[in-house]
Amino acid sequence: MNIDNTKFIKKLPTKLYDPTFIQSLVFSGEIIVFENSIFINKIIETTRYHFNKIFGVSLEDFFDNRDNLTFEAKERFFFQLQKKIKKCSAINNYFSNFLDEIGFDIKYVFKDQYSIRYSPKLYRKPFGKLKPAPPHRDTWASNLFDQINFWFPIHKISAGNSIYLVPKYFNKKIENNSKSWSFENFKKKDDYPSAPFTKINIQESEKLSFKIDKGDIICFSGHHLHGSLQNKKERINLETRIIYKSKLNKIIIPKNYDSNSNVVKKKWFRNIVTNKYLD
C-alpha cells in the first residue's frame, strides 16, 4: 500500500510569519518548504564562490569530472570548504536575514554550525567529515526536542539524490544506537557516523523525498526520522539547526520516545547574535 506522505508538506512563500505558527507546524510533524528566498540564494552564491576558490574549478566542472583532481585532493579541499562555511560571516548574516524574513526574532535564535555535506554517486566513496547519513533523528544526538532543521542544496537536484523523511515514525518508538553512539568518537574517527542511527527496514513508499528549486529551503523538526538518498548523481547541500527560545511555554514540542542517551548537547547551539551558548 502506498502512503500519501505529501499531506505532511506545506509550501509557504517567504514572508513574515508568527514564529509560534511555524513552530506549531514543525513540532506537530509538518514539513515546510519556504520558497524562493533571496537570502538562501545569496548563501548558495557565497558557497559556490568559496568552492571555486578552494577547488580551482566551478561546481559544474567538478561534477562533470573536468577538474583533473585526485580523490585525495578533493577530500583535502572539501575539508577546507567545510571549515570555511562554518566560519563564514557572510553566510551567517544571510541566514540571520532569512530567519528575520520569515518572522523569527533573531535575538532568541540559537544555532548549530553551518554544515556542508557531500553525497557521492551511489557506490562511490564519499569524502569530507559529513558522509551520506543513514536514517536517524537529530534529537538522538542532541537530546534537545525543540530543534528545528533547515536543509537545502547548492545546485539543482532530483528527488532521487535529495534528503528523505519518514513521517510514519514521527510519533513512534524506533530502535537505535543512541546509547552507544559518541560525538567524541565522531570527531576522532573518519568512518564514524555523524549521528546515532537505526537499522529498521524502511519501505521506499514510506520515504518522503524532495525536489526543490534554487532558493527554496526545507524546514522540519529534528525529531523527524530522516536520511540521505543517493543515485547516479552527486549532491552538495547545506544544513543547520536552530532552537528558538521566545514563547517556548506556548509550544508543545515532540516527546522523547526513544533517545537512550542522557547527554544534552546545549553547547552545539550558540546565539546567532551574541554567540553565547544555549543555557
What per-residue confidence (pLDDT) applies to 111? 98
Q: What is residue 39's three-state secondary structure? A: helix
168-203 residue pLDDT tens? 999 999 999 999 999 999 999 888 999 999 999 999
pLDDT category of residue 3 using cuts at 50, 70 and 90: very low
Residue 6: pLDDT band by 50, 70, 90 thresholds? low
In the beta sheet, which residues pair with residue 147?
243
Amino acid at 237: N
The CATH homologous superfamily for domain 10-271 is: q2cbj1_9rhob like domain (2.60.120.620)
Q: What percent of the chain has pLDDT over 70?
A: 97
* For residue 247, pLDDT beyond 90: no
Residue-wise pLDDT tens digits, 16-58: 999 999 999 999 999 999 999 999 999 999 999 999 999 999 9
Mean per-residue pLDDT, 126-142: 93
Judged against a pLDDT cut of 80, whether residue 139 lies above it is answered with yes
pLDDT surpassing 90 at residue 128? no
Rounded average pLDDT over 75-91: 96
The Cα–Cα gap between 8 and 5 comes to: 6
Using 50, 70 and 90 to split pLDDT, how confident is the model at 10? very high
Alpha-carbon gap, residue 71 to 154, rounded angstroms: 21
**What pLDDT shows up at residue 190?**
82
Give Dmax (Cα) for the chain: 55
pTM: 0.95
What number is the average pLDDT over the span 66-86?
95
**Extended strands (E) in 167-274:** 208-209, 217-221, 226-228, 235-244, 270-271
